[in-house]
Amino acid sequence: MRLITYIAKRVGYTVFVLLGLSILIFTLARVLPGDPARMALSPRAPEWAVEKLREQLRLNEPLPIQYIYWLRDVFSGSLGESLVTRRDVLTDITEFLPATLELLLFALIFDVIIAIPIGMLAGRKANTWIDNLVRGFAYIGVTIPAFVFAIIFLLIFGYILQIAPTVGRLSPGVMPPPRITGLITIDSLITGNFSTFVDALSHLILPSFALALGPIAQEARITRASVVENLNKDYILASISHGIPERLIVLKYLMRPSLIPTVSILGLDIASLMGWAFLVESIFNWPGMSRYGIIAMLRKDLNAIVGVVMVTGLVFAIANIVVDVIVSLLDPRIRMVERAK
């Protein structure tokens, strides 16, 4: 019951933050120097065309009025027309978002299943060559930005070794499965189309791995530090002296408290994944919302920019609430604090 009130509170606050974000991004998009309508069209476009667009975007109205119109449209299920695709931005985003979510999901899976084991291993073997190897890897992951990894992967695995596809979500000629969730891997499994699943998976590997490397490095470092800290605690010593097998100690007593910091910074990982997705999707021609966002930005497509930022904020907020709930389930102390309030 407490958890539900907690989630309800968080959702309420998220609504406030997203409203604030919409005012921020809406104002920035219109107050910053430059005429959005002129920028959207070419510099040589005739004045009447610019004026028409200005009228259409309601740029001649005062700013608060423009915002209220925008908000009204949002509640009636429209984010305005995209200047690039000439469709409603919401239609565009619902089409492209699943591809981004699929990419983020796989990057996150890679992050968790790689970072936790190597972090725990490095922590248990602290100050050995294994630990140093993990530390070295972590420095590489932290210092090389995801888009550079993307280019390097493209070069090595795509062109030189040619072992993984580098463009899009499916090979040409492969029929996408009927759209159920929009995530090709899941849809193809539901419909039992295994070869499509394998093809989709092979397309996911390079971009999601390029995205995941930074977070993997970060998480491995955090996990290592908390394993080292917990290993020195009395309860571990007590369990060792009770003669509990090491495997059991690690899996049952060490893992849960050690993973709390790891899970709590997943929120930061998600921020980094969502941000870099904008570049990585463009590099791999991944037809997701982030690539759509970059195209919109380069073409000064105001409605699409605002829409993409808002949806990014929404996904980010939901992800953060989920992460916080998982942390509170892992750590009873946090629940106690909540209850005490």
Report the residue from 12, 34, 43, 173 that binds other proteins according to the rule CB under 8 A.
34
Nearest CA among 109, 2, 3 for reference residue 324: 3
Report the residue from 1, 32, 175, 340 that binds other proteins according to the rule CB under 8 A.
32
294 touches other proteins (CB under 8 A): yes
Least CB distance to other proteins at residue 6 (A): 17
Interatomic CA distance for residues 65 and 127, integer angstroms:
62
The C-alpha R_g of the chain, in whole angstroms, comes to 24
Binding-site string for other proteins from residue 251 to residue 290, where x marks contact by CB under 8 A and - marks none: --------------------xx-xxx-xx--xx-------
151's tokens: 């280019």
Give the DSSP per-residue string, 129-173.
HHHHHHHHHHHHHHHS-HHHHHHHHIIIIIIIS--S--SSSS-TT
Report DSSP state, residue 254.
Answer: I
Mark the segment that binds other proteins (CB under 8 A) among 62-70, 202-210, 245-253, 302-310.
Answer: 302-310
Q: Which contacts (CB < 8 Å, 24+ apart) does range 32-39 have?
A: 35/59, 36/300, 36/302, 39/300
Nearer to other proteins, 258 or 272 (CB): 272
Nearer to other proteins, 143 or 191 (CB): 143
Which residues in the 224-253 window bind other proteins by CB under 8 A? none
Total residues at the site for other proteins (CB under 8 A)?
51
Other Cβ atoms within 10 Å of 78 Cβ, number: 16
Mark the segment that binds other proteins (CB under 8 A) among 122-130, 196-204, 244-252, 306-314.
Answer: 306-314
**Rounded to an integer, what is the distance from CA 231 to the centroid of its chain?**
32
Q: Please provide the distance, in angstroms rounded to a whole number, between the alpha carbons at the two ends of the chain.
A: 15
Report the residue from 63, 68, 113, 155 that binds other proteins according to the rule CB under 8 A.
155
Give the DSSP per-residue string, 47-58.
HHHHHHHHHHTT
Amino acid present at 176: P
Nearer to other proteins, 21 or 260 (CB): 21
163 touches other proteins (CB under 8 A): no
Task: Check if the beta carbon of residue 322 is closer than 8 Å to that of residue 58.
Answer: no
User: How many alpha carbons lie under 13 Å from residue 14 in its C-beta half-sphere?
Assistant: 19
Least CB distance to other proteins at residue 327 (A): 18
Least CB distance to other proteins at residue 159 (A): 4
Nearest CA among 277, 227, 284, 276 for reference residue 256: 227
Residue 99 Cα distances to 71, 96, 296, angstroms: 27, 6, 17
Least CB distance to other proteins at residue 308 (A): 8
Least CB distance to other proteins at residue 296 (A): 8
28 touches other proteins (CB under 8 A): yes
Report the residue from 68, 152, 198, 329 that binds other proteins according to the rule CB under 8 A.
152
Which residues in the 89-148 window bind other proteins by CB under 8 A? 139-140, 142-145, 147-148
Judged by the rule CB under 8 A, the positions of this chain that interact with other proteins are 16-18, 20-21, 24-25, 28-29, 32-34, 36, 39, 139-140, 142-145, 147-148, 151-152, 154-155, 159-160, 271-272, 274-276, 278-279, 282-283, 293-294, 296-298, 300, 302, 305, 308-309, 312-313, 316-317
